[in-house]
């Protein structure tokens, strides 16, 4: 067609030239140039107009483009997996294959494989297990003449957190071959599995009646073994926790008083003499009387309740215990320490050096008018003092004594002190160490309330403070007498980490510097502090999950 147009143009041009030949020769040159320009312009215009725009065909790749990334979002039991649509797929109605596997290499059969027509998919614990790590890969499937894409893989993986209906385990819930498990009653609970490190599983069926109670004792466990307990409703996990069973109480150093129904058997056994390093086991739920004659500990000794799930054994003290000499360790564990006439739990009046003193899972009962533990002889020393998971109540108010008191005039000292997960209430003074320089006092996850009056101090290091001196995750409640209560006396202050004090924690001098301020009183924060219930009343308390004795959370 273009050739025909050119031929016509040339014919017109020749015709015009013939006419020009008849014109005056003087004008011939000028006219010719003029008309040549005109015809050249017409030629270009015709050529341009004759060229139609060709339509471009839709791009059709030989292989679908691979999705570029994978994103995961979700909650406890669901996860939404999404990815950008493949390039040039808008008009192709592309589908995608999503695979999920516990194996990051996807070598075997995936745990879930689905084809979807969207660029996202929500998965739940109906199809995947909670608390199990999974990996994802996605590809665009073949569409039209375009083959499927390559896989895009998520190399990080994801886990459904799952729900947790188990209640936290306490030390008293675990013995050498049994564990007491409790949970929030939930419809459909069918089984609890206990798995050891060798993948041996003990299956404990849960009937409807047991589920209503929400508690069971699982038996047949191995001593000193780590277990994972998981509770199920059908195939769906409803909670998981781990624990380690206690070591069996066996050995040549065991003095087992269980099964002996004599309230004086503990005192009689101690007085008659037992080997150094003995572990004395007491019957749970039984009360053992210690008479008004002071028993003096002279060698390493552990006294504890035997393994079981009943109430701890009670030691009823008509007078205090004492100690003398060089002793490697003294331990009291899982006991009720009752004041039945005693003014102290321990009043150490002899020269003594104790390597380790431990008070574990103990509760006081009654009123100790003086100290819980006092050292009063020159040079007395406890190198390492450790207290954990104790409730200490009603100490020293009558006689103005500290819970822990190393008499200043004698240069006695607790050198390293660590106190964890304890509650102290109704006391005159917490720690008093006059005229000595110690290594550490570190207090963690403790609750204090109804404390300090008559000019007492919370802590008194009248000379140098310890090298390590810190309170972490603690709550300080009401002072007994805001007009005559002192905080910390030392040449340097303590460090406070994530600690809080209530509005009625008021010191007339040496206030605590560092704890956060809680706007309410101890009565606003705690359920019933006057009767020893320090569970949180205020659900909005900022430290409800991080501060204070964990037993009250």
Per-residue pLDDT tens digits for 392-448: 999 999 999 999 999 867 689 999 999 999 999 999 999 999 888 899 999 999 999
Q: Highest mean pLDDT: which of 48-57, 110-119, 125-134, 470-479? A: 470-479
- Residues 275-295 have a mean pLDDT of 97
- Residues 107-130 have a mean pLDDT of 91
DSSP bridge pairs for 332: 303, 359
Angle of helix 25-50 relative to helix 2-21, nearest 10 degrees, comes to: 170
Q: Looking at residue 218, what is its pLDDT?
A: 96
pLDDT over threshold 90, residue 52: no
Query: Alpha helix locations (H) across 308-442?
Result: none
Q: Looking at residue 211, what is its pLDDT?
A: 97
- Residues 101-110 have a mean pLDDT of 93
Q: Which residues, in sequence order, are CB contacts of 199 under 8 Å at separation 6+?
A: none
Six token digits for residue 282: 């007491």
pLDDT over threshold 90, residue 8: no
Q: Looking at residue 90, what is its pLDDT?
A: 63
Check residues 318 and 37 and name the one with the higher pLDDT: 318
Six token digits for residue 413: 């000292």
Nearest residue to 475 (alpha-carbon basis) of 503, 504, 515, 512: 515
- pTM above 0.75? no
Q: Are 134 and 121 in contact (CB under 8 A)?
A: no
- Residues 18-46 have a mean pLDDT of 47
- Residues 460-487 have a mean pLDDT of 94
Q: Highest mean pLDDT: which of 79-93, 145-159, 515-529? A: 515-529
Q: Looking at residue 92, what is its pLDDT?
A: 67
Nearest residue to 341 (alpha-carbon basis) of 377, 293, 301, 304: 293
Output b/e per residue, 19-28; b: 16+ Cβ within 10 A: eeeeeeeeee
How far, rounded to the nearest angstrom, does the alpha carbon of residue 478 sit from its chain's CA centroid?
Answer: 28
How many of the other CB atoms lie within 10 Å of CB of 124? 14
Between vectors from CA 418 to CA 415 and to CA 420, what angle results, nearest 5°?
Answer: 165
Query: What is the domain class of 71-159 according to CATH?
Result: mainly beta
- Domain ranges in the chain are 71-159, 171-244, 251-349, 367-553
d(CA 340, CA 330): 22
In a 3-state reduction of DSSP, which class is residue 376?
A: coil
Q: Looking at residue 48, what is its pLDDT?
A: 43
d(CA 538, CA 524): 7
Instruction: State what percent of residues in the chain have pLDDT above 90.
Output: 70
In a 3-state reduction of DSSP, which class is residue 179?
A: strand
Task: Determine if residue 277 is left, alpha or beta; phi over 0 gives left, psi from -120 to 50 gives alpha, anything else beta.
Answer: left
Fold match, 71-159 / 171-244: yes
Q: Looking at residue 11, what is its pLDDT?
A: 53
Q: Looking at residue 88, what is its pLDDT?
A: 66
pLDDT over threshold 80, residue 20: no
How many of the other CB atoms lie within 10 Å of CB of 522? 26
pLDDT (tens digit, 9 = 90+) per residue, 343-361? 999 999 999 999 999 999 9
Mean pLDDT of the chain: 88
Q: What DSSP string describes 32-101?
A: HHHHHHHHHHHHHHHHHHH-PPPPPPPP--SBPPPP---EEEE-SSEEEEE-PPPTT-TTTT--EEEEEE
pLDDT over threshold 70, residue 55: no
- Residues 487-499 have a mean pLDDT of 88
Q: Looking at residue 149, what is its pLDDT?
A: 87
Q: Which CATH superfamily is domain 171-244 in?
A: Immunoglobulins (2.60.40.10)
Q: Looking at residue 348, what is its pLDDT?
A: 96
Categorize the per-residue pLDDT at 490 as very low, low, confident or very high, splitting at 50, 70 and 90: confident
Q: Looking at residue 127, what is its pLDDT?
A: 86
pLDDT (tens digit, 9 = 90+) per residue, 511-551? 999 999 999 999 999 999 999 999 999 999 999 999 999 99
Q: Looking at residue 171, what is its pLDDT?
A: 82
Categorize the per-residue pLDDT at 250 as very low, low, confident or very high, splitting at 50, 70 and 90: confident
Candidate from 122-136, 180-194, 288-302, 362-376 with smallest mean pLDDT: 122-136
Between vectors from CA 384 to CA 488 and to CA 399, what angle results, nearest 5°?
Answer: 50
Candidate from 44-58, 69-83, 310-324, 327-341 with smallest mean pLDDT: 44-58
Q: Are 510 and 487 in contact (CB under 8 A)?
A: yes
- Residues 160-168 have a mean pLDDT of 90
d(CA 467, CA 247): 35
pLDDT over threshold 80, residue 50: no
Which backbone phi and psi does 394 adopt, to 5 degrees? 65, 70
pLDDT over threshold 50, residue 54: no
Q: Looking at residue 411, what is its pLDDT?
A: 85
């Amino acid at each position: 067609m273009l050739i025909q147009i050119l031929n016509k143009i040339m014919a017109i041009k020749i015709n015009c030239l013939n006419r020009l030949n008849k014109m005056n020769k003087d004008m011939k040159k000028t006219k010719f140039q003029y008309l040549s320009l005109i015809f050249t312009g017409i030629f270009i215009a015709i050529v341009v107009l004759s060229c139609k725009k060709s339509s471009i065909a839709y791009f059709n790749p030989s292989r679908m483009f691979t999705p570029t990334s994978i994103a995961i979002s979700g909650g406890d039991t669901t996860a939404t997996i999404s990815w950008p649509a493949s390039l040039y797929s808008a008009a192709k109605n592309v589908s995608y294959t999503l695979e999920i596997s516990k194996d990051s290499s996807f070598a075997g059969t995936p745990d879930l494989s689905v084809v979807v027509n969207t660029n996202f998919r929500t998965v739940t614990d109906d199809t995947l297990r909670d608390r199990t790590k999974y990996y994802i890969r996605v590809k665009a499937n073949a569409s039209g003449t375009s083959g499927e894409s390559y896989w895009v893989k998520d190399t990080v993986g994801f886990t459904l957190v799952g729900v947790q209906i188990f209640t936290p385990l306490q030390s008293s819930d675990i013995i050498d071959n049994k564990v007491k498990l409790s949970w929030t009653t939930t419809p459909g609970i069918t089984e609890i599995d206990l798995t050891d490190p060798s993948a041996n599983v003990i299956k404990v069926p849960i009937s409807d009646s047991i589920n209503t109670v929400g508690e069971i004792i699982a038996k047949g466990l191995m001593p000193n073994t780590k277990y994972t307990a998981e509770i199920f409703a059908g195939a769906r996990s409803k909670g998981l926790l781990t624990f380690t069973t206690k070591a069996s109480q066996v050995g040549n150093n065991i003095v087992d008083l269980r099964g002996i129904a004599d309230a004086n058997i503990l005192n009689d056994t101690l007085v008659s003499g037992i080997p150094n390093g003995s572990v004395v086991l007491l019957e749970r739920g039984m009360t053992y009387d210690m008479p008004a004659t002071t028993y003096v500990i002279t060698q390493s000794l552990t006294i504890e309740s035997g393994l079981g799930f009943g109430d701890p054994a009670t030691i009823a003290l008509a007078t205090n215990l004492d100690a003398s000499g060089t002793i490697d360790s003294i331990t009291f564990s899982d006991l009720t320490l009752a004041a039945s006439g005693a003014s102290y739990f321990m009043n150490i009046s002899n020269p003594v050096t104790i390597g380790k003193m431990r008070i574990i899972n103990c509760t006081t009962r009654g009123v100790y008018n003086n100290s819980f533990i006092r050292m009063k002889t020159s040079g007395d020393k406890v190198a390492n003092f450790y207290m954990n998971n104790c409730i200490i109540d009603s100490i020293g108010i009558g006689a103005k004594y500290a819970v822990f008191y190393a008499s200043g005039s004698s240069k006695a000292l607790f050198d390293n002190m660590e106190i964890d997960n304890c509650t102290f209430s109704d006391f005159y003074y917490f720690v008093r160490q006059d005229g000595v320089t110690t290594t550490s006092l570190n207090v963690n996850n403790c609750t204090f309330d109804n404390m300090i009056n008559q000019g007492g101090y919370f802590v008194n290091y009248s000379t140098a403070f310890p090298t390590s001196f810190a309170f972490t995750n603690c709550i300080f409640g009401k002072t007994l007498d805001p007009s005559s209560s002192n905080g910390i006396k030392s040449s340097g202050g303590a460090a406070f980490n994530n600690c809080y004090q209530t509005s009625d924690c008021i010191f007339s001098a040496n206030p605590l510097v560092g704890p956060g301020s809680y706007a309410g009183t101890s009565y606003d924060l705690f359920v019933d502090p006057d009767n020893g219930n320090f569970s949180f009343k205020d659900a909005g308390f900022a430290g409800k999950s991080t501060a204070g004795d964990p037993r009250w959370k």
